[in-house]
Chains A and B, each alone.
Chain A
Amino acid sequence: MTAGAAAGLHLVRLHLVSRRVPAALAVVAACAVVLRVALRWPWDTYGAFQLPLVFEAASAAVIVITTASSLGEPERATGRWLPFLRLGAALALTAAAVIVLAAAGTGAHLAGGTLDVLRNVAGLTGIGLLFAAVFGGGLAWAGPMGYLVVGVYALYTDWHGPALTTPWIWPGRPPHDLGAALCAGLVFAVGLVAITVHGARDSAGE
Chain B
Amino acid sequence: MTAAQAPATSRPSPAVRRPGLATGRLLRLELRHNAMPWMVPVAVALFWFITYRKSMALPPLWNVRAVTLQSGAVVDFATPVVGAAAWMGSRDGRRHITDLVAVAARPRWARQLATWAATTCWAMVAYLGCAAILYGVTARQAAWGGPLWWPAAVAAASLPAFSALGFAAGWFFPSRFTTPVVAIAAFFVLALTTQPIRGSQSYWQVSPLVAYPWDIGPEPGVATFYRYVPDLSIAQLMLVAGLTMAALGALGLPAGSGDRWLRRSAAAITAAGLLAAGTAVALAGTGRLDAHGMIAIPALHDAAIDHPIRYHPVCSHGPIPVCLNPAYTVYLPAVAAALEPVLSQVARLPGAPVRISQAAATYRQGPGNMVGIEVAGPLLSGRPPVFHLLLPDQLLGPTLTVSQLAAQVRSSAGPDIVAGVIGGGTGGRVSQAQQAVTAALSAAGGDLPGHASRGTSPGRTGAGTPCGQCVANKVSGRLAPGTPVFDAAVRFAALPAAARHAWLAAHLPALRAGRIALAQLP
Most interface-central of B39, B75, B180 (chain A CB within 10 A): B180
Q: How far is the CB of A196 from chain B (nearest CB, A)?
A: 21
B78 to chain A: closest residue by CB: A149
Q: How far is the CA of A44 from the CA of B75 in the complex (A)?
A: 20
Instruction: Assess the A27–B181 pair: CB atoms within 8 A.
Output: yes
Residue A174 is within 8 A (CB to CB) of chain B in the complex: no
Distance (Å) between the CB of B402 and the closest chain A CB?
Answer: 16
Query: Given A135-B38, A146-B45, A148-B187, list of 10 further CB < 8 A pairs?
Result: A58-B180, A62-B177, A138-B87, A141-B180, A142-B42, A149-B46, A153-B50, A162-B57, A205-B95, A206-B95
User: In the assembly, what is the distance between CA of A62 and CA of B181, in Å?
Assistant: 8
| Interface of A toward B, CB cutoff 8 Å | 20, 23-24, 27, 43-44, 47, 50, 54, 57-58, 61-62, 65, 68, 135, 138-139, 141-142, 144-146, 148-150, 152-153, 159-162, 205-206
With A and B bound together, what is the CA distance between A43 and B49 in angstroms?
27
Specify the chain B residue showing the minimal Cβ separation from A64: B180
CB of A44 within 8 A of CB of B42, answer: no
Measured between C-beta atoms, what is the minimum distance from B57 to chain A in Å? 8
Report if A160-B397 is in contact (Cβ < 8 Å); known contacts: A62-B181, A139-B35. Answer: yes
Query: Are B79 and A20 in touch, CB under 8 angstroms?
Result: no
A44 to B368, CA, bound (A): 14
Asked if B159 is at the interface of the complex by the 8 Å CB criterion, the answer is no
B176 CB to closest chain A CB (Å) equals: 5
Task: Kindly list chain B residues whose C-beta atoms are within 8 Å of the C-beta of A20.
Answer: 176-177
Question: Across the interface, do A146 and B191 meet the contact criterion of CB distance under 8 Å?
Answer: no
Interface majority SS (helix, strand, loop, mixed), chain B: helix
Closest partner residue, chain B, to A58 (CB atom): B184
Residue numbers in A under 8 Å from B94 (CB-CB): 206
Q: Is B447 an interface residue (CB 8 A)?
A: no
Whether a CB of chain A sits under 8 angstroms from the CB of B56 is: no
Contact of B188 among A27, A54, A205 (CB under 8 A): A54
The tally of residues in B whose CB lies under 8 Å from a CB in A reads: 32
7 closest Cβ pairs, A-B complex: A61-B180, A141-B180, A161-B398, A58-B184, A145-B79, A146-B42, A153-B50
Which residues of the partner chain A approach B179 to less than 8 Å between Cβ atoms?
65, 138, 141
Question: Which residue of B46, B57, B76, B191 is within 8 Å of A54 (Cβ)?
Answer: B191
B510 in the interface (beta carbon within 8 A): no
Q: How many A-B residue pairs have CB under 8 A?
A: 89
B35-49: which have CB < 8 Å to A? 35, 38-39, 42, 45-46, 49
* Closest B residue to A145 using CB positions: B79
Q: Are B50 and A57 in contact (CB under 8 A)?
A: no
**Interface bits B174-201 vs A (CB < 8 Å: 1, else 0):** 0111011101100110010001000000
Q: Kindly identify which residue among B80, B95, B175, B188 contacts A142, using a CB–CB cutoff of 8 Å.
A: B80
Residues of A near B50 (CB, < 8 A) are 149-150, 153
Give A121 to B395 CA distance when docked, in angstroms.
Answer: 34
Assess the B35–A149 pair: CB atoms within 8 A: no
CB-CB under 8 A from A61, the residues of chain B are 180, 183-184
Q: Mark B439-481, 1 if CB is under 8 A from A, else 0.
A: 0000000000000000000000000000000000000000000
State whether B191 touches A50 (Cβ < 8 A): yes
Residues of A within 8 A of B420 (CB): none
Q: Which of B462-513 contact A (CB under 8 A)?
A: none
B396 interface contact, C-beta 8 A? yes
A142 and B83 contact, Cβ closer than 8 Å, known pairs A58-B181, A149-B75: yes
Chain A residues contacting B87 (CB-CB under 8 Å) are 138-139
Q: Specify which chain A residues have a CB less than 8 angstroms from the CB of B177 in the assembled complex.
A: 20, 23-24, 27, 62, 65
Known interface pairs A62-B181, A206-B94; A145-B80 also in contact (CB < 8 Å): yes
Chosen A-B contacts, 25 in total, with CB atoms closer than 8 Å, are A24-B177, A43-B195, A47-B195, A54-B184, A54-B191, A58-B180, A61-B184, A62-B177, A65-B176, A65-B177, A68-B176, A139-B39, A139-B87, A141-B83, A141-B180, A141-B183, A145-B187, A146-B79, A148-B184, A149-B76, A149-B187, A153-B50, A160-B397, A160-B398, A205-B95
